[in-house]
Amino acid sequence: LVVFSDLDGTLLHPTSYSYAPALTTLRRLQARDIPIVFCSSKTREEQVALRQELGITDPFIVENGSAVFIPKSYFRLPFSYDRVCDDYLVIEMGVPYQELKLKLNHVIENVKARLTKNAWMGTLDIACFGDLTVEDIARETGLGLKAAEAAKHREYTETMKLHGGRQAIEFLLAELKKAGLSHAFGGRFYTVSGGNEKGKAVKLLTELFKLNYGAVITTGVGDSDNDVSMLAAVDRPVLVQNQSLRWAKVKLANLVFAKGVGPEGWSRALADLAT
Ligand code: 2M8
Ligand code: MG
Ligand code: MG
């Protein structure tokens, strides 16, 4: 059994970022040696900090499937990887941040010019984490300064806060797509990437688990649109409730709707696996 888990709004509460309600279940899963694989739009730095805090030593997937980080001697069998980073072997699917940022800025410039000419579409404010100060990010997200800084250190994706009319937002998202960039809504923000998604990374890592351990059953827990591809890639997909006690609009035949916001739903959904 392998657990793939989103972080914001799932293992972590959507506003307080607390994992407290999930801790008992998490400790039981760890005691049973069930791998807990983070699969989030969060950066490497953010995820490493949380792994250390929780004593999690399993592989993890950063920035919406941009890269898979595998601790050096985690798997017995060799596999091909793209680079070594600290104690991890890294399989990369995303494009480097600088490259992404150039393309993204180009699209944003064009979209802004078009919106100025077509006032009927409404206005659009775009704030990218890369361009905001650490203090701004802390204010926007409710993260502490250190965590906000880790969120700003992006290696493959850019997170944008969009403020504007639906039409203007849809226009920007369509233009991104035309430029070969993908976007995923994570609950509050849009994260833009070079075409990668969580699901592909989950499938790749699942293959590695199977290669090393034989048959493996996977479960995945998420809360937002950006989790759909991850949920579609696992055997037992689970959706937890968001702050307004609703579930994101996800259609999957075998989807389990867990009651409870974020970590409460997480705990309820995985409790039976932990006993
Ligand atoms: C962003 O991610 C969340 C969902 O995970 C979102 O899009 O709403 C990312 O930039 C992440 O790095 C950051 O920690 C998080 C803070 O809320 O926002
Ligand atoms: Mg989430
Ligand atoms: Mg996430």
Which ligand 1 atom is at minimum distance from the Cα of 191?
7
The reply to whether 15 and 125 lie within a common domain is no
Average pLDDT of the chain?
A: 97
Same domain, 69 and 112: no
Range(s) of the domain holding residue 252: 2-94+196-274
pLDDT digits over 79-98, tens only?
Answer: 999 999 999 999 999 999 99
Is 6 an active-site residue? Answer: yes
Nearby residues of 275 by Cβ (< 8 Å), 6 or more positions away: 28
Phi and psi torsions of 140, nearest 5°: -65, -35
pLDDT of res. 274: 79
**Domains held by the chain: number:** 2
pLDDT attached to residue 265: 98
* Eight-class DSSP state of 80: -
Q: Assess contact for 27 and 55: CB atoms under 8 A.
A: no
Q: Identify residue 117 by its one-letter amino acid code.
A: K
Mean pLDDT value across residues 100-104: 98
Among candidate residues 6, 58, 223, 227, the one labeled active-site is 6
Ligand 1 centre from 191 Cα, in Å? Answer: 8
Residue 275 has pLDDT above 90, yes or no: no
Mean pLDDT of 170-179: 97
Give the pLDDT mean for 120-144.
Answer: 96
Residue percentage of the chain with pLDDT more than 90: 97
Residue owning the nearest CA to atom 3 of ligand 1: 186
Distances (CA, A) of 248 to 222, 226, 244: 9, 10, 10
Neighbouring residues of 166: CB distance < 8 A, sequence distance ≥ 6: none
**Cα 63 to middle of ligand 1, angstroms:** 9
Same domain, 149 and 186: yes
Asked if residue 233 and residue 268 are part of one domain, the reply reads: yes
pLDDT-derived band of residue 264, with 50, 70 and 90 as boundaries? Answer: very high
Answer yes or no: do 201 and 226 share one domain.
yes
- The answer on 144 and 126 residing in a single domain is yes
Of 176, 193, 210, the one marking the end of a domain is 193
ipTM of the complex, rounded to two decimals: 0.96
Q: Pocket around ligand 1: residues whose beta carbon is below 6 Å from it?
A: 8, 40-43, 46, 129, 141, 143, 151, 159, 186-189, 191
Average pLDDT over residues 109-128: 95
Distance 177 CA to ligand 1 centre (A): 20
Beta bridge partner(s), residue 112: none
Query: How do residues 108-117 score in pLDDT, each as one tens digit?
Result: 999 999 999 9
Q: Is the confidence at residue 195, as pLDDT, over 90? A: no
Distances (CA, A) of 237 to 3, 8, 229, 251, 268: 10, 17, 10, 11, 14
CA of residue 257 relative to chain centroid, distance: 19
